Amino acid sequence: MSLLLRYAARGSGRNAFQTLQCLLQSEALLRLGVPVSLESGQTALRRTQGYQLSPLRGFSEELRVVASALSEGDYHHMADETLEGMVEKLEAYVEDNDVDGGDVEYSQGVLTVKLGKHGTFVVNKQTPNRQIWLSSPVSGPFRFDHIEGRWLYHRDRRDLLLQLEQEISALVGAPLHLQ
């Protein structure tokens, strides 16, 4: 909340008040578990009241409260099954394609895929959020939720395994099949 107040305080006069009002309404909706896009809230405010608000850096993408229906035990089972399945396939892939500087390591819920000059992928469990996180040298960081039996990125529904297949295949130049 203090971040919201600091952001609104950067403005002046009525614009700052309108920004704060928009942010507080969004905060109230978030507490109720309602998906909120601060960017679309600004757009609506701009249309209805004619005020130009500066964009919210870091908050322009949809914010939402994710309450996973998975129990901790179910989460560990599904995440471990996914990661362990990936380890076997990635080890074989790196060896079969003789990736220079390639290495696959898995320990305590963290999978590290080193592809030499192509960079390093890190896939890890985030138990408190019931998510799997990906750090990619190609596309950056992502947080995947278990939705409909797959690990999906909630903003655009991209699949964890498919994303890794596409990115690693493009870097190495050989098809990878994780699914």
Asked if residue 87 and residue 141 are part of one domain, the reply reads yes
pLDDT attached to residue 28: 46
- Count of residues in the chain: 179
pLDDT attached to residue 68: 56
Question: What residues make up the domain containing 126?
Answer: 72-172
Asked if residue 98 and residue 43 are part of one domain, the reply reads no
Residue 179 lies in a domain: no
For the segment 128-143, the average pLDDT, to the nearest whole number, is: 96
CA distance 2 to 103: 44
10: pLDDT strictly greater than 90: no
Assign 21 a pLDDT band (cuts: 50, 70, 90): low
Asked if residue 82 and residue 45 are part of one domain, the reply reads no
Q: Residues 92-123, buried b or exposed e (16+ Cβ, 10 A)?
A: ebbeebebeebebebeeeebebbbeebeebbb
CA distance 66 to 125: 16
CA distance 33 to 64: 7
Asked if residue 104 and residue 150 are part of one domain, the reply reads yes
pLDDT attached to residue 118: 95
**CATH number of the structural domain spanning residue 91:** 3.30.920.10
pLDDT attached to residue 46: 35
For the segment 60-87, the average pLDDT, to the nearest whole number, is: 77
**Domain count for the chain:** 2
pLDDT attached to residue 90: 97
Asked if residue 158 and residue 85 are part of one domain, the reply reads yes
Q: Compute φ and ψ for 36, nearest 5 degrees.
A: -135, 135
Asked if residue 77 and residue 150 are part of one domain, the reply reads yes
pLDDT attached to residue 15: 52
For the segment 111-136, the average pLDDT, to the nearest whole number, is: 97
Asked if residue 76 and residue 40 are part of one domain, the reply reads no
For the segment 143-167, the average pLDDT, to the nearest whole number, is: 95
> For the CA atoms of the chain, what is the radius of gyration?
21
List, in sequence order, every residue forming a beta bridge with 135; answer none if it has no partner.
122, 141
Residue 177 lies in a domain: no
